Structure 1
Amino acid sequence: MLLFVYLIFCSGLIVSQCRLTTEDGCNLPAKGNSKFPSNFSFGVATAAYQIEGGWNADGKGLSLWDDFTHNYPHMIDDKTTGDVAADSYHRFDQDLAALKELKVTHYRFSISWSRIFPNGDISSRNQYGIDYYNNVIDKLEANDIQPIVTMVHFDLPYEIQKIGGFANPLFINQFVTYAIELFNNYGDRVKTWITFNEPLLYCKSGYGEANYPPQIHGAGLIDYICVDNTLKAHAAAYRVYKSKFFNTQGGKIGISLDSQFSISNDTALTHRAMQYNLGFLAHPLFSKSGGYPEVMVEEIRRNSLKEGRITSRLPDLDGKWKHIIKGSADFLAINYYTSRYISRAEKPIGENPSFERDYDLDESIDPKWKRGLSRWLYCVPEGLESILKFIRDEYDNVEVIVTENGWSDKGDLEDIERIQYLKSHLQAVLNAINDGCNVRGYMYWSLIDNFEWQRGYTVKFGLYSVNMTSPTKERTARNSVGYYRKVIETHLLS
């Protein structure tokens, strides 16, 4: 039987409290002040592969997702690609018009590495690609919209993957070289950088379960190496920025981590689950002790020895790297969509070895939760409030930006459920702020309909509908645009 309990983290104490969602399954009561701070940032988010198109335009090189969609179309629900998508590479002015209509203060987008360095290396530097993003940033600046730039949002250059990608320790220096190119070209205007988007997802799916490119079956082994090299690459780029660019550019660097909130009436079990999900990367960066979460270190070492191994499958962060990584982020960017109830697994789950086997928890949902079109997406705003409080208490109230949060549907312009989802999750953010959480901004996913990875174009997350069958890719505002714009203008929820 499901336990309709969620955890509230406050004043360093964890308190269990029963709270049911209301009948529509997607509301959250207000707590305290009803207005967002005057300096709170409102924006929207996109990613290069999902909206740009122009997959081989002006010298762009092949990305991991270009190769994947071209050669494994059966892995995409509708067998489509991002070759054209919303064609933002040629039609950014249409995106800009939507941003201006929304009156957002910030726009989070990603840069395609293979558009800057077509073969992933500085030797292939492509001025056309550099110019494209200069144009985007200049137009944002001219309209008082601040860019939040993600350096890698899944679309690794294919040539880098050919020599191992995230599993190769050479990746660390490859990424730093790329990051320096971005700092040199855009750092005078970009003041908020995100190195990587959702490392745990692309490592597990791409290097463990083989559901995403590069389709490596390395569960519990190569996916952990992927996380390790991602952390090291992030930290190395951060240290270079601080030593060589910060004094003149004055920007901030963070990383976007995705996590559900793990709901249980057992506070110790919730804490353990959160360490596996969020803490895997957040603990090395933001905790006082640094390194991987102790529970993961001990459990994975014990499991590895039981399997007959002489060392743990989880890489060891030595003293040097632990020191370099700890504190190497100015803020935590959190991508939150949904939550799950958790309980101890009644029987072994996942293959052996795997993250799932190490995690050793069963997950379930509340049948009252409203579900989006995406099979995994349920409206659980309580989870966002709780995860923000968890971050406050676990990581010394580090600055947080919610960089993704969104709802999928079939694409109707009258998107009542999206408005409900948006309102309830903004309420969750405001509740967390009222309880002392250091949350500075919220970016809705997504500005426009896009190529939604393995779901192709079968689900819609956009505030704006995109006519994908039209040569001009018209953007049309859904009803949620009016709602979100009013919140941005007034800083009030209605």
Structure 2
Amino acid sequence: MSIFCKVANLITFAILVSNSVCGEDAFLYDVFPPGFQWGFSTSSYQIEGAWNEDGKGVNIWDTFVHRFPSPIPDKRNGDIACDSYHKFDHDVSLLKYIGANVYRFSLSWSRILPTGRIDHINPAGIQYYNNLINLLLANGIEPIVTLHQWDLPQPLMDIGGWQNEEVIQHFSNFANLAFHAFGDRIRKWVTFNEPNVMCVHGYLTGKYAPGHKNINEALNSARNIVKSHAKVYRLYDRVFRLHQGGKVGMALFSYWLEPKDPQNPAHRKIAEYGMQIMWGSFAFPIVFGNYNDETKQLLGKLRKLKLTSAPVEFTLEESVEIKGSYDFWGLNHYSTYLVEPSKLTSSILHGDLIGLVLGAKISVDPKWPQGARNDITVVPWGLRKTLNWIKERYGSPEIYIMENGYPDYPNAGVEDVSRVQFHRGYINEMLKAVRLDGVGVTMYLACGLLDSFEWSLGYTVNFGVVYVNHSDPERPRTPKLSSACLQQIFAENGFT
């Protein structure tokens, strides 16, 4: 059998299976509106490598993974990763081959400002991103820039990191430099990627850099990140928007929380409460200027327990700057959980302590398919419900799906039928949200393009639609079956 026939047969099989299991109702054959954008998301630490080359400074992930003993299960790191610092042209060729018309990547703050401060600019770092941006544009691919995805320069961590309000100004200086250096070609900026995950796992569970376990640090860092985002948004408004014409937003991670018993009012109430808490620390202030009632109440409880000094509200001056500081919402969505009330529980979402405070028990339906991560089950209809929840509570904003992907084991090979089923299922539920529910989604970015360093899991889990052989110094790339699936969806702008 020819390779072409084998691939065609595998995709046909995956389509038949995904059509039967992907949603709560029938598979929808339709296309997205004209101009819908398709592409991939990556981040600097996960793919670039070159951790100490060409003047780059040390960031908190460099420090974290070089500890002894290593906190990473396979004892590996992102020192080389996919070597995209040297092979970005290979990545752009893959994007073009698959048919992507947009690509989101993050800037390595410490590659551009080795100390995190504006008084030491590294020209080689700026040149690297200029080369990447220019090559993307030359191939008809729009670059989207994330200013910060978790890799804070170590010198700024040494003064307290995001807990220290001084870092707000350093981040604004970094953003100002990026707008000046790249803004003539960038039309969409993401200030922070998943700051909710960064604060929980970086400062509460200790799974991510800097590896701290302190709820007060997590909450104060979250507060300062909201203020940092707003400061940068207002900077763009004031100085750059008129002549650059871009948009600025944030990408937030969100599960869908489904009542375990939808007929039980207590289950529905705790599910809604969990969603409000998940969105209340970042999205609600950015839209409305302050925390929602649920978040204020939670902060109040934690203050009474003397677990945090974080204020329960922003000041009036802060609120004025924060309110309305967005042009779009970036949603990173992977999975769904069942929720029911419980006084004694641990929570996958927010760490043991927060789970106790929430009074929520989190579980999954054993019938839901599961990949290589126990916190990601395949529940496509959860994406549609999440999108409708955002629309109903946040005034129909423009939404970009900025991450959505399936975790597989490294030995799964290139015939990744489960990933094909995942992407078809989730994209079809997104299509239903757009065509049947009127949700304003205008972009879908799969996570990820390459098999890369997966944070606290190292290389024990893969999300890429392109296999990278990390045992080979050349880091050769091989497209998987899922890349052919997405190539077809991108070309058809949906399902025809």
Match of 1:52 in 2: 48
Alpha carbons 1:43, 1:105 under 8 Å: kept: yes
Residue type of the alignment partner of 2:278:
N
Once residues 204 and 238 of structure 2 are traced to their aligned partners in structure 1, the CA distance between those partners, rounded to angstroms, is 35
Once residues 170 and 68 of structure 2 are traced to their aligned partners in structure 1, the CA distance between those partners, rounded to angstroms, is 27
Match of 2:70 in 1: 74
> Relative to structure 1, is the Cα distance of residues 24 and 163 closer, same or farther in structure 2, using a 3 angstrom cutoff?
farther
Residue type of the alignment partner of 1:337:
Y
Whether 1:301 aligns to 2:300 is: yes
3-state SS of 1:333 partner: strand
Aligned residues: 469
Match of 2:11 in 1: none
Match of 1:399 in 2: 398
Match of 1:6 in 2: none
Q: CA deviation at 1:211?
A: 2.0
Residue type of the alignment partner of 1:403:
M
Q: CA deviation at 1:298?
A: 2.0
Once residues 339 and 425 of structure 1 are traced to their aligned partners in structure 2, the CA distance between those partners, rounded to angstroms, is 12
Once residues 338 and 22 of structure 1 are traced to their aligned partners in structure 2, the CA distance between those partners, rounded to angstroms, is 16
3-state SS of 1:363 partner: strand
Match of 2:456 in 1: 454
Match of 1:17 in 2: none
3-state SS of 1:44 partner: strand
* Cα deviation 1:54-98 (Å, max 9, x = unaligned): 001100000110011011453101000100011000011110110
Alpha carbons 1:110, 1:152 under 8 Å: kept: yes
Q: CA deviation at 1:458?
A: 1.0
3-state SS of 1:402 partner: strand
Q: CA deviation at 1:120?
A: 0.4
> Relative to structure 1, is the Cα distance of residues 55 and 73 closer, same or farther in structure 2, using a 3 angstrom cutoff?
farther
Match of 2:34 in 1: 38
Match of 1:18 in 2: none
Which has the higher mean CA deviation after the structures are superposed, 73-82 or 241-250? 73-82
* Cα deviation 1:121-167 (Å, max 9, x = unaligned): 11110000000000000000111100111111111111110001111
**Counterparts in 2 of 1:406-485, with a 5 A limit?**
406-410=405-409, 411-434=412-435, 435-485=437-487
Residue type of the alignment partner of 1:234:
H
Once residues 321 and 471 of structure 1 are traced to their aligned partners in structure 2, the CA distance between those partners, rounded to angstroms, is 49
Which has the higher mean CA deviation after the structures are superposed, 325-334 or 290-299? 290-299
> Relative to structure 1, is the Cα distance of residues 376 and 308 closer, same or farther in structure 2, using a 3 angstrom cutoff?
closer
Could you tell me which of 340, 344, 348 is aligned with 1:343? 340
Q: Tell me the TM-score normalized by structure 1.
A: 0.91
Q: CA deviation at 1:103?
A: 1.0
> Relative to structure 1, is the Cα distance of residues 187 and 352 closer, same or farther in structure 2, using a 3 angstrom cutoff?
closer
5+ long unaligned stretches in structure 2:
1-16
* Cα deviation 1:190-216 (Å, max 9, x = unaligned): 100001111111111111222222122
Match of 1:378 in 2: 377
Q: Tell me the TM-score normalized by structure 2.
A: 0.91
Q: CA deviation at 1:33?
A: 6.5
* Cα deviation 1:409-439 (Å, max 9, x = unaligned): 1241111000000000001110110211010
Once residues 162 and 54 of structure 2 are traced to their aligned partners in structure 1, the CA distance between those partners, rounded to angstroms, is 26
3-state SS of 1:59 partner: coil
Match of 1:232 in 2: 227
3-state SS of 2:388 partner: helix
Residue type of the alignment partner of 2:389:
F
3-state SS of 1:79 partner: coil
Once residues 369 and 449 of structure 1 are traced to their aligned partners in structure 2, the CA distance between those partners, rounded to angstroms, is 24
Alpha carbons 1:28, 1:427 under 8 Å: kept: no
Whether 1:90 aligns to 2:86 is: yes
Alpha carbons 2:286, 2:322 under 8 Å: kept: yes
Which has the higher mean CA deviation after the structures are superposed, 348-357 or 468-477? 348-357
Match of 1:114 in 2: 110
> Relative to structure 1, is the Cα distance of residues 72 and 283 closer, same or farther in structure 2, using a 3 angstrom cutoff?
farther
> Relative to structure 1, is the Cα distance of residues 87 and 318 closer, same or farther in structure 2, using a 3 angstrom cutoff?
same
Once residues 122 and 313 of structure 1 are traced to their aligned partners in structure 2, the CA distance between those partners, rounded to angstroms, is 29
> Relative to structure 1, is the Cα distance of residues 182 and 164 closer, same or farther in structure 2, using a 3 angstrom cutoff?
same
Q: CA deviation at 1:492?
A: 2.5
5+ long unaligned stretches in structure 1:
1-20
> Relative to structure 1, is the Cα distance of residues 349 and 370 closer, same or farther in structure 2, using a 3 angstrom cutoff?
closer
Residue type of the alignment partner of 1:423:
R
Could you tell me which of 237, 243, 259 is aligned with 2:238? 243
Residue type of the alignment partner of 1:172:
I
Once residues 453 and 431 of structure 1 are traced to their aligned partners in structure 2, the CA distance between those partners, rounded to angstroms, is 32
Q: CA deviation at 1:280?
A: 2.3
Match of 1:13 in 2: none
Alpha carbons 1:25, 1:379 under 8 Å: kept: no
* Cα deviation 1:273-331 (Å, max 9, x = unaligned): 101112321111124xx3111012124314533x268x964543111111211110101
Once residues 379 and 208 of structure 1 are traced to their aligned partners in structure 2, the CA distance between those partners, rounded to angstroms, is 27
Alpha carbons 1:301, 1:313 under 8 Å: kept: no
Q: CA deviation at 1:263?
A: 0.4
Provide the alpha-carbon RMSD of the alignment.
Answer: 2.0
> Relative to structure 1, is the Cα distance of residues 360 and 22 closer, same or farther in structure 2, using a 3 angstrom cutoff?
farther
Alpha carbons 2:344, 2:356 under 8 Å: kept: no
3-state SS of 2:320 partner: helix
Q: CA deviation at 1:471?
A: 1.9
Once residues 351 and 85 of structure 2 are traced to their aligned partners in structure 1, the CA distance between those partners, rounded to angstroms, is 43
> Relative to structure 1, is the Cα distance of residues 75 and 24 closer, same or farther in structure 2, using a 3 angstrom cutoff?
farther
Whether 1:319 aligns to 2:320 is: no
* Cα deviation 1:4-29 (Å, max 9, x = unaligned): xxxxxxxxxxxxxxxxx999754453
Alpha carbons 1:30, 1:431 under 8 Å: kept: no
